[in-house]
Amino acid sequence: MTRFGWFLGLEEWQPELLVARARRAEEAGFDAILVSDHLQPWVDDAGAAGHGWATWGAVASATRVATLVSAVACPLFRQHPVLVAQAAATLDRLSGGRFELGVGTGEGINEAPLGPFPPYAERLARMTEALELLRPLLAGETVRRPAGTFYPVSSIRLHSPPSSRVPVHLAAAGPRSAATAGRLADGVVSSVKDPERTGREVVDVARAAAAAAGRPPPRVVLTSFVVLAGSDDEAMRALRPWRGLRTPGRLVASSPTRLRQRADRLGRDRILARYRRVGEPRELLGFCTALLDRLRPDVFALQVAASDGSAAVERFAGLVDRLRQRR
């Protein structure tokens, strides 16, 4: 049975507002709260960038029943995998066993300001080693890897282990990360624009890799970004903190100033063309139904950019009720 979630961008909301939005999403009936992790926003003239783990702790305290998912933390550079495991275990205890750890190979905007941000091949190799630390530590094991290539560990275990099993989901936009998720993680996280493409290149690949490795089917956690706006002007107001997100070179860019400049050079029409937009939540029903039928996710979360982000929660809660009835 699919759980329906509400995605909150740490790079859009100041932490105190994000916590209030998370509480409101739970009250509106969403089953899961997904929160991103950012050192910097996508543009330098809008948005926010509170500390992810501190914010997740506050969300855990402000909610009661919703599943909490990091979407996603990068345990490779500014955050060591052992410290991510420690933070995830602590958050699981504080939330009463409601936390699921989503991890990814990183983005330049968050990792490059503090040091080298290597090409994808090295980041994936680092992630492979990080998962070999994260999963046993979260299972309560003592880990010894003195010969680790990237993260040598003499001997360590968590002395405040999770109160329950913490699933580890790996973010994937293509088949290489998806296959790694199927082999080494508990699940896969992906953002969906085209359900068929995501199915072919991510979800099917992860499921096949898990089956080939003799592992259970991976959990599938999906998000989809939508703009709620009745006009181009309203859409641009909603996208102000996000307009650097889909600019060329955004994965390796380290400066929100440069991303803002690139986005503004694109112009309004080209920015708007990069996002799915609806005037009313019901217009998204066909897309969501196709996504659920094709991909059968365990969690499907909506990420909504709107000029009134607070009211958007209630407006999309009605859509989720209709989707639940169709299940």
How far from chain centre, in Å, is Cα 7? 8
CA distance 19 to 42: 20
- 305 - beta bridge partners? 227
The span from the CA of 227 to the CA of 324, in Å, is 22
Q: How many CA atoms are closer than 13 Å to the CA of 108, on its beta-carbon side? A: 17
d(CA 155, CA 144): 5
Per the CB < 8 A criterion, the answer to whether 324 and 4 are in contact is: yes
How many Cα atoms sit within 13 Å of 21 on the Cβ side?
Answer: 27
Q: Is 129 a catalytic residue?
A: no
Catalytic residue flag (residue 132): no
Strands 99-103 and 143-145: unpaired
Sign of CA dihedral 228, 234, 239, 241: negative
From 26, 100, 107, 129, the catalytic residue: 107
Question: Helices in the chain by DSSP H: which ranges?
Answer: 15-27, 52-62, 81-94, 108-111, 120-138, 175-184, 195-198, 204-212, 232-238, 256-266, 268-272, 285-295, 309-326
> How is residue 274 written in tokens?
């990069």
Catalytic residue, chosen from 11, 12, 26, 38, is 38
Catalytic residue IDs = 38, 107
